[in-house]
Chains A and B, each alone.
Chain A
Amino acid sequence: MNRVAFASVLAAGLLGAMLAAGPLYADLLVQPHDLIAVYSDMTSEQRMASVDIGDYLLMCRPVDDARVYDAGSPKENLQTFNRDLAFGLWQVKPNVVLLSFSDSANLSSVIETLKKRGAGSVITFPSSTDTHLAIACTCLKDLGCDGAIGSIDVDLSAGTATSDPGQKIVAIQNGVVTIQTSRYPFSAGGEPMPAAFNDDLNRYTLTVKGIASLKAKVTWGVESRDFSTSDLAKGVNLSVAFAGHTPFDAQFAKVRSAVISRQKDQDFFNDTYFNLAIMLKHMAGPEGAAADKLGEAILDHDRTAAEAAATLVVPISHTLKIEAIPDGAK
């Protein structure tokens, strides 16, 4: 994809702070408490991509208290963007901006304006006809997401299992591994996932050694799949193999529903607030303050809605049962 990424990382001091924040965020442009604003002309796919990004940063690559804010509108363009910026839009105060408009004239001046107003990173992505997942994939990679969601290593012969820090091995007994997970693989609810998304951003990998046969059956939750032992030894991506049937899907859908509900409110405010704010701020007297108060109330509501969505991201306990399939068995 012919994309132009303008990623600007803050000065060396901030970079140091980023590194000090711990390995979880080391490669990410998104830091704890960041607000990531998506400003675009909001095709329906772009709107859904914004939900995908919100889902991902809540569940798959969670960053403490980071929020995605949909700040575009269907009629948004760079001209109205510049107008709105001066009055209402900037109340969102984003640290990271994902920017996409079909009309790219004056884009560089907009990026400059955003940076002057404090956006640490401004990333442009093309206004495309791609699916929302493809758009989200581009944006999440630009944000520095590496796609390593989970990694579970099982040694059946030794009866041991290890994992990355986002997973906790609760028990292993007779080939059944019980895990508690705070990072979910991305779930598209049965919608086909672009291969690039799964490969680059959604690797929930199971590696198994010590299987005394050529094939094995892996049961995850209530679903089973057969794998070759050699594939299991190299590692298989469970989010692909069990797409649409993972133990995370139900909770993922609940969180996504909350994210969508929050986006609907954001869209409503985007459609109705900014021109009103412009009108009020043009008036002498206390009306400008009223616009600010309403803006604050909107953002308070959004923060509360974001917190409510985040509380739904609870650790999920799940089991992986690995059974050798006797050689020669059908």
Chain B
Amino acid sequence: MAPNRFLTALLAIAALTAPSLLNAAPVLKAGDVIAVCGDSNTQMRRYSRFLEDYLLMCDPVPDLRTIQFGSNGAIASVLGQRIGAIALFHPTAATMFYGVNDSGYSPLDDNRINGFRHNLNYSIDALKGIGVQNVIVASPIFVDWLAKPSQTDMLNGDLAVYNGIAGDVAQQRGLEFAQVYMDMKAMVGKVKAAAGPGAKTPWFDIHPEQGPCLAITHALLKAMGFDGNIATIDFDIATGQAKASNGHKVLSVKDDAVAIESTRYPFCFKGDPDKLGPDTASILKYLPFNEDLNRFMLVVRGVKSTRAKVIWGDQSRVVSSADLEKGVNLAALFVPDNPFSEQFYKVDAAVIEQQNIESTLTWQFLANLARYEQILPGHEALFDQITQAGLAECGRYAKAAAALVIPVRHTIVIEPIVGPVN
């Protein structure tokens, strides 16, 4: 029997009432090891890299370790089937991001609908069985570009059902739910409204580009309970006083300049924020990432003009004094370059290397260990040696990435503007 609209509507209601919208407390704690599990969209190391970037730099959880467990072509049961490989890393938390392959790229029938629910539960049980305390269940992507365009609506229909099932399972199991599908659908809707009818959006395909992948990270971080308060710098020019929130230290205030040292970075973006494209900056108009998760706020009082030039590093923006008094989000204002960008992308590069190594070990070797053992019997000691060496190497790469998250010193200068701006 084909799924009907009633089922989709019921499941959508379940998805909307799933725990992530009700729970704002962070689910991660110091020392957690979070396994990022999913299909090829996880294995491509886009959203998983942004997720780790955020957890390392923007709202750092002490001693947190992120491990990449993407597997091309995986359906939801693959996680449970490969739980032995995941257990080697002793995860305490996990994200699950499946559904596209479960759909079979064909109209759903009862077997596929029930199979997805069963397989999600099977893999959740497997995670619980190895001691994973917190599981975040994500719904699948929303697509807008397939090789066969006529299949887009059909696949999105399947994924809408799976969105509901994922939310339903999360609610029944008392787990957090990341509404990837709904977030991406809303984002695509805004993009298409802005780009006009018939506009081509090939970066929203079955393997979304980096910009759309930011929506996946966005949904996961929200489900994890992050509040998005990265920084608040409160600068009173009249009194020459400045204060900063946790993670930031005011080093000095001199005239209209405040020098700060920050251990929490704003999330940084690449690309042109005014041009629709595959990059992360290109998607910011259509995804409330900065509003929800990346508020690096500057509040300035006592500006003696209606407008002021805000100079941050080697970039500047003109802002009204009224807005400055209410607070402006520097992370959104200074895209793509800000004083953190250089170090952010050094860490990001190290995260990419780390996840590449993890993928090699987990996806290419550990996930295939049973077949290695079958084809090459008698080499168990060698396999164990390689496994242990690989685990150690992954750990070294993770430490190297974390070590690059160093305090960044930056200066904010406020120049009142009198008369026209050049």
Contacts and interface: CB of A to CB of B under 8 A. Distances in A.
Interface stretch (A160-168, A179-187, A194-202, A264-272): A264-272
Contacts of B368: 268, 272
A297 B371 contact: no
B205 to A, nearest CB: 18
B171 to A, nearest CB: 38
A287 B393 CA distance: 10
Contact of A294 (B360, B386, B393): B386
B284 to A, nearest CB: 32
A192 B361 CA distance: 43
Contacts of B364: 271-273, 275-276
Chain B interface helix/strand/loop/mixed: helix
A69 to B, nearest CB: 15
Interface string A228-262: 00000000000000000000000000000000000
A56 to B, nearest CB: 26
Contacts of A273: 364
B389 A293 contact: no
Given A268-B371, A279-B393, A301 B376 contact: yes
Of the listed residues A278, A279, A287, A297, the one surrounded by the most CB atoms of chain B closer than 10 A to its CB is A279
A267 to B, nearest CB: 12
B421 interface: no
Interface in A23-38: none
B375 interface: yes
B379 A297 contact: yes
Contacts of A286: 385
Contacts of B386: 276, 280, 287, 290-291, 294
A283 B393 contact: yes
Of the listed residues A268, A286, A297, the one surrounded by the most CB atoms of chain B closer than 10 A to its CB is A297
Interface in B352-398: 357, 360-361, 364-365, 368, 371-372, 375-376, 379, 382, 385-386, 389-390, 393
A293 B376 CA distance: 12
Interface in B390-417: 390, 393
A290 to B, nearest CB: 5
A272 B365 contact: yes
Contact of A279 (B357, B376, B379): B357
Chain A interface helix/strand/loop/mixed: helix
Contacts of A294: 379, 382, 386
Interface residues of B, number: 17
A271 B73 CA distance: 14
Contacts of A301: 375-376
A27 to B, nearest CB: 37
A265 B371 CA distance: 10
A3 B170 CA distance: 58
A285 B386 CA distance: 12
B34 to A, nearest CB: 22
Contacts of B372: 272
Interface string B32-52: 000000000000000000000
Interface in A126-177: none
A283 B364 CA distance: 18
Contact of A268 (B375, B379, B385): B375
A290 B357 CA distance: 17
B360 A276 contact: yes
A279 B382 contact: no
Given A276-B386, A290-B386, A290-B389, A297 B357 contact: no
A287 B90 CA distance: 23
Contact of A287 (B360, B379, B389): B389
A1 B365 CA distance: 41
B382 A280 contact: no
B382 A293 contact: yes
Given A290-B386, A293-B382, A294-B382, A276 B361 contact: yes
A303 to B, nearest CB: 13
A298 interface: yes
Contacts of B360: 275-276, 278-279
Contacts of B361: 276, 279
Contacts of A275: 360, 364
A275 B360 CA distance: 6
A286 B385 CA distance: 9
Interface in A272-319: 272-273, 275-276, 278-280, 282-283, 285-287, 290-291, 293-294, 297-298, 301
Of the listed residues A268, A276, A286, A293, the one surrounded by the most CB atoms of chain B closer than 10 A to its CB is A276
21 contacts: A272-B364, A272-B365, A272-B368, A272-B372, A275-B360, A276-B364, A276-B365, A276-B390, A278-B360, A279-B361, A279-B390, A282-B393, A287-B385, A287-B389, A287-B393, A290-B386, A290-B389, A291-B386, A294-B382, A297-B376, A297-B382
Interface of B: 357, 360-361, 364-365, 368, 371-372, 375-376, 379, 382, 385-386, 389-390, 393
| A-B pairs with lowest CB-CB distance, top 5 | A287-B389, A275-B360, A272-B364, A276-B365, A272-B368
